[in-house]
Amino acid sequence: MEKDIQELTNYCLNCASKPCSQKGCPLDNDIPTFIKYTKEGEFEQAYQTLIQTTVLGSVCGRICPHQKQCQGSCVRGFKNEPVSIGEIEAFIFDKAFEEKYDRSIKKENVLANKKVAIVGGGPSGLTCSAFLARKGAKVTIYEKYDVLGGILSHGIPDFRLDKKILNKTITSILNLGIEVKYGKELGRNLQLADLQKQYDAVFLAFGANISRKMEIEGEELEGVFGGNALLELQNHPDYENKIVAVSGGGNVAMDCARTIKRLGAKKVMVIYRRSKEEMPAEEKEIMEAKEDGVEFLFQNNIVKILGNKKVEHIECVKTKLIEKEGAKRKIPIDIDGSNYILDVDYVVMAVGANVETDILNTQHLPSTERKYLEVGQNYRVGDTNIFAGGDLIGTTSTVAWAARDGREAARAIEEYIN
Ligand SMILES: Cc1cc2nc3c(=O)[nH]c(=O)nc-3n(C[C@H](O)[C@H](O)[C@H](O)COP(=O)(O)OP(=O)(O)OC[C@H]3O[C@@H](n4cnc5c(N)ncnc54)[C@H](O)[C@@H]3O)c2cc1C
Ligand code: SF4
């Protein structure tokens, strides 16, 4: 294994301009330096380099969309394959677990006697907690479930992320001296105003995991599910001999389709209104879904769900893609007269997710036009002692971006409470 990894590191050019770090990696991990140490067999040094900027290396190394992040900017990738940055990062963090490297980073104690509450124990909340605890703050995470990890634990299926690896990561973070209060849900048995009084600062990171609706006829029929809820609550129906249509083209669509196929559905179709090239899911994920037997209908769109009480058919339409000034991606337009009907038993909507707006309203939190929590500069909510980050504020929805918010908000909180 070590030999294979060192071979991967030999391929890195150790570019002085570090595009992989500076343009590609949301966490600004010092990639050339940790790869150089790995190449030299200095694994602990490689690890110490990485933990300056991340506490989630074993997770990010495995599930970041590398092609869209670090590896997408790798100079090697312009002509050939990029360096396998994710694989090397995961190796180093796994090695740190095995060898029990010192994970603490010297505590600076600049925040001794300061108390911070974190609401939500996903990638953003965990990262913020770790960076504050390293500064000596007394950190308490309030989490609505009895497990931490957020979507990493109750969204991403086990076949993509081994929960043993996740649990080791979480334990190593909690060992920094972080307290957790499980079963505490903001808006239900936890009120923001109370936290504001008890703590010097509060960091909100409760995500955005309410499935968006497609706003089409038939969405209320029995057998229509929200993709996020399906993965979060695992309330799957019996799929034996059933045909399932999954609408969407991102992580949630891929994870739903693959999970449902593995749970025994006869046929699973991912229906996506743009082409494969525009799909937010990575090429690797599409390939793996195909290997699982998932079928893809690109440039098709569900326009109606039909049935008597429960789903029986869907009406689809073919689309064409047009360029539009100012638009980042091509726009799908329905082709007149191309409508057709498919027999299906279930429909899964995986077309994006929203913040739970009730919480924003009841806790008197401001929202943006797109209904995310509104923060100002430095992740701060107005002139309060509340800070927020991750999916909740509408950051690019990946683990590394959510973690970046957590780390940067920790810096802002330190500045604020000192
Ligand atoms: C199915 C799926 C697959 C994905 N796959 C990938 C991938 O492969 N790679 C990638 O980089 N990104 C992926 N993402 C995106 C990534 O998981 C998210 O961007 C990231 O988890 C956001 O982190 P967060 O901490 O902001 O929120 P979350 O991970 O959602 O964590 C929020 C936490 O807050 C808790 N919580 C919620 N409400 C309350 C409340 N009222 N009170 C207290 N606690 C509360 C939740 O239980 C949870 O622990 C995927 C997302 C989904 C849904
Ligand atoms: S861009 Fe690629 S080759 Fe250059 S330092 Fe980064 S990982 Fe190595």
Give, using CA atoms, the residue closest to atom 2 of ligand 2: 74
Q: Please, are residues 299 and 320 in contact by the beta-carbon 8 Å criterion?
A: yes
Inter-CA distances, 279 with 253, 254, 305, Å? 11, 11, 23
Pocket of ligand 2 (CB under 6 A): 12-15, 18-20, 31-32, 35, 74-76, 83, 85
CA of 59 to the centre of ligand 2 (A): 21
User: Domain for residue 251, yes or no?
Assistant: yes
User: Domain for residue 106, yes or no?
Assistant: no
Which CATH number does the domain housing residue 36 bear?
1.10.1060.10
Among 316, 314, 245, 320, residue whose Cα is nearest residue 278 = 320
Domain co-membership, 338 together with 222:
yes
Q: Who's near 410: CB < 8 A, 6+ residues apart?
A: 127, 128, 131, 132, 135, 203
CA of 124 to the centre of ligand 2 (A): 27
What span, in angstroms and rounded, lies between the C-alpha atoms of 408 and 146? 27
Pocket of ligand 1 (CB under 6 A): 63-65, 119-125, 142-145, 150-151, 155-156, 185-187, 205-207, 209, 228, 231, 251-252, 255, 359, 390-392, 397-400, 402
Domain co-membership, 70 together with 163:
no
Among 378, 315, 311, 319, residue whose Cα is nearest residue 342 = 315
Domain co-membership, 85 together with 48:
yes
Domain co-membership, 329 together with 372:
no
Domain co-membership, 233 together with 252:
yes
Tens of pLDDT along the chain (418 residues) come to: 677 998 999 999 999 999 999 999 999 999 999 999 999 999 999 999 999 999 999 999 999 999 999 999 999 999 999 999 999 999 999 999 998 886 666 677 899 999 999 999 999 999 999 999 999 999 999 999 999 999 999 999 999 999 999 999 999 999 999 999 999 999 999 999 999 999 999 999 999 999 999 999 999 999 999 999 999 999 999 999 999 999 999 999 999 999 999 999 999 999 999 999 999 999 999 999 999 999 999 999 999 999 999 999 999 999 999 998 888 889 999 999 999 999 999 999 999 999 999 999 999 999 999 999 999 989 999 999 999 999 999 999 999 999 999 999 999 999 999 8
Could you tell me the residue range of the domain that residue 360 belongs to?
115-208+355-417
Domain co-membership, 178 together with 258:
no
Domain co-membership, 34 together with 125:
no
User: Domain for residue 70, yes or no?
Assistant: yes
Domain co-membership, 65 together with 86:
yes
Which CATH number does the domain housing residue 191 bear?
3.50.50.60
Give, using CA atoms, the residue closest to atom 4 of ligand 2: 15
User: Domain for residue 387, yes or no?
Assistant: yes
Domain co-membership, 338 together with 371:
no
Among residues 40, 73, 99, the one where a domain terminates is: 99
Three-state SS for 366? coil
Among residues 299, 317, 352, the one where a domain terminates is: 352
Domain co-membership, 248 together with 287:
yes
Domain co-membership, 394 together with 348:
no
CA of 392 to the centre of ligand 1 (A): 9
Among 103, 29, 38, 97, residue whose Cα is nearest residue 66 = 29
Domain co-membership, 204 together with 224:
no
Amino acid residing at 8: L
Domain count, the chain: 3
User: Domain for residue 346, yes or no?
Assistant: yes
